[in-house]
């Protein structure tokens, strides 16, 4: 009897776990849809800023600090975009692994000197795990589940300042890119210095007030668009990873419940059989006594 | 006047407004600037201020933050940080 009760309790607790994992899956799915919609809305802006940059061509590019590659690179800032929480498979841990590989490769500099590497962290996950890497964290950004333009602007402005003030000779974004709902992969992309899109300047364009000012303005817009796109993509990947992880967890609970129900039925049947055997045994004994 | 300019106001949150107009007034960095149909290709820095456009339907006004405007082939594209229709 005790066995049956124990199995029932277990089934109940697994059922409530299933409820949680199912809900989490649905929440992640809703957030993924929302993130993807924001990403879609951003595309018009991004393609228009690219188009205007192409029209501007290379005019004024020589003087533009956001475009200049620095010869002797001394410091690199990695912008690590982790998730806001766990329960999303290897989403966060794979990023940390990629970061470790990346920093190991970056640190070596010709001449035996060490490059100064530091982090800017976006997302709430893994304070301790990130601290354990031993890299200085310049700043942390809390990032909502569907990043708003304002959050992207704050990050973009901060990174631009780091770069222009010489605290970083290169800024690299490290995030999980969204390949599909089932597939994410750690990706490193250089954000600063920026690169001009290919294409010559259109002939006879009036510049108001001048090409250099326009280029800087457009590059700032491109930077903002790029940062926001990356934040959204990283979040989309997180939601997708969580969806997949929670779907797998729900499937596992289904399987566990099926196995346990079978066990429960066996135990119940065994108990009934024993009871019948006892009753009929008792009856037989009574008959014999009479 | 015929509405021959296609005006697009874009922000990182999506297309803020899009439609056909006959004339646009932009808050350019060096003073207010009017664009009519058939304007020469132009790139123009914008201050925060007021964008006014006239169309057959009447006059529309938008408050914008700083940005960049591109004019080419009667398409006026405004890249803006933020935008509000008045």
pLDDT tens-digit profile of B27-77? Answer: 998 889 999 999 999 999 999 999 999 988 889 999 998 899 999 999 999
Three-class DSSP category at A43? helix
Per the residue annotation, which of A28, A76, A77, A88 is the catalytic one? A88
The alpha-carbon gap from A14 to the nearest alpha carbon of chain B, in Å, equals 42
Residue A200 has a pLDDT of 63
| pLDDT exceeds cutoff 70 at B25 | yes
pLDDT in tens, A223-243: 999 999 999 999 999 999 999
Residue A173 pairs in a beta bridge with A79, A189
Residue A70 has a pLDDT of 81
Domain that holds residue B17: 5-85
Other CB atoms within a 10 A radius of the CB of residue B7 amount to: 24
- Record: contact B45-A214, CB cut-off 8 A: yes
* Residue of A45, A54, A160, A231 best to disrupt the B interface, most CBs of B under 10 A: A45
ipTM for the predicted complex comes to: 0.88
- The single-letter DSSP state of residue A182 is T
User: Which CATH number characterizes residue B15's domain?
Assistant: 2.60.15.10
Residue A202 has a pLDDT of 62
Listed in order, the ranges of chain A carrying CATH 3.40.1380.10 are: 25-196+206-245
Interface of A with B (CB under 8 A): 38, 41-42, 44-45, 48-49, 51-52, 55-56, 149, 152-153, 202, 204-209, 213-214, 217-218, 221, 224-225, 228
How many whole angstroms separate alpha carbon A171 and alpha carbon A189?
Answer: 9
Q: Which residues of chain A have pLDDT under 70?
A: 1-2, 109-112, 199-203, 290
Whole-structure pTM value: 0.87
The CATH T-level fold of domain A25-196+206-245 is Pyruvate Kinase; Chain: A, domain 1 (3.40.1380)
How many whole angstroms separate alpha carbon A4 and alpha carbon A23?
Answer: 29
Catalytic residue list contains A88: yes
Interface of B with A (CB under 8 A): 8, 10-15, 28-30, 33, 40-45, 66-68, 70, 72, 77, 79, 81-82
Nearest to A94 by CA among A24, A32, A174: A174
Looking at 3.40.720.10, 1.20.5.50, 3.40.1170.60, 1.10.287.80, the CATH number of the domain A2-21+246-289 comes to 1.10.287.80
| pLDDT exceeds cutoff 70 at B24 | yes
Looking at the partner chain, which of A42, A206, A208 has a beta carbon nearest the beta carbon of B12?
A42
Q: Give every CB contact of residue A198 below 8 A, 6+ residues apart in sequence.
A: A54
Residue A237 has a pLDDT of 95
Do A224 and A155 touch, CB atoms closer than 8 A?
Answer: no
Residue B2 has a pLDDT of 80
Residue A111 has a pLDDT of 61
Total domains, chain B? 1
């Amino acid at each position: 009897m005790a066995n049956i009760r124990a199995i029932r309790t277990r089934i109940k607790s697994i059922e409530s776990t299933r409820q949680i994992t199912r809900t989490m899956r649905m929440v992640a799915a809703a957030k993924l849809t929302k993130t993807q919609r924001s990403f879609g809305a951003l595309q018009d802006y991004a393609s228009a800023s690219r188009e205007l940059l192409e029209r501007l061509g290379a005019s004024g590019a020589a003087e533009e600090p956001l475009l200049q590659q620095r010869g002797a690179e001394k410091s690199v800032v990695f912008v690590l975009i982790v998730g806001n929480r766990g329960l999303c498979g290897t989403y966060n841990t794979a990023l940390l692994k990629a970061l470790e590989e990346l920093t190991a490769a970056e640190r070596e500099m010709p001449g035996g000197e060490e490059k100064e590497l530091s982090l800017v962290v976006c997302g709430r996950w893994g304070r301790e795990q990130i601290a354990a890497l031993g890299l200085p964290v310049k700043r942390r950004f809390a990032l909502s589940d569907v990043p708003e333009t304002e959050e992207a602007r704050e990050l973009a402005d901060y990174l631009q300042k780091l770069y222009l003030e010489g605290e970083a000779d290169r800024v690299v974004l490290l995030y999980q890119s969204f390949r599909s709902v089932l597939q994410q992969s750690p990706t490193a992309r250089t954000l600063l210095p920026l690169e001009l899109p290919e294409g010559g300047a259109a002939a006879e364009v009036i510049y108001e007030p001048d090409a250099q000012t326009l280029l800087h303005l457009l590059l700032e817009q491109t930077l903002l668009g790029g940062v926001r796109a990356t934040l959204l993509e990283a979040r989309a990947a997180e939601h997708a990873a969580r969806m997949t992880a929670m779907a797998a967890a729900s499937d596992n609970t289904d399987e566990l419940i099926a196995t346990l129900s079978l066990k429960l039925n066996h135990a119940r049947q065994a108990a009934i059989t024993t009871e019948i055997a006892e009753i009929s045994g008792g009856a037989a004994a009574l008959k014999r006594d009479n | 006047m015929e509405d021959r300019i296609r005006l697009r106001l874009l922000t990182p949150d999506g297309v803020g407004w899009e439609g056909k107009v006959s004339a646009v007034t932009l808050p350019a960095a060096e003073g207010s600037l009017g664009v009519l149909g058939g304007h020469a290709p132009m790139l123009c820095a914008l201050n925060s201020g007021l964008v006014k456009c006239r169309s057959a339907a009447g006059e529309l006004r938008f408050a914008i933050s700083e940005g960049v405007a591109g004019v080419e082939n009667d398409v006026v594209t405004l890249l803006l940080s933020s935008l509000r229709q008045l």
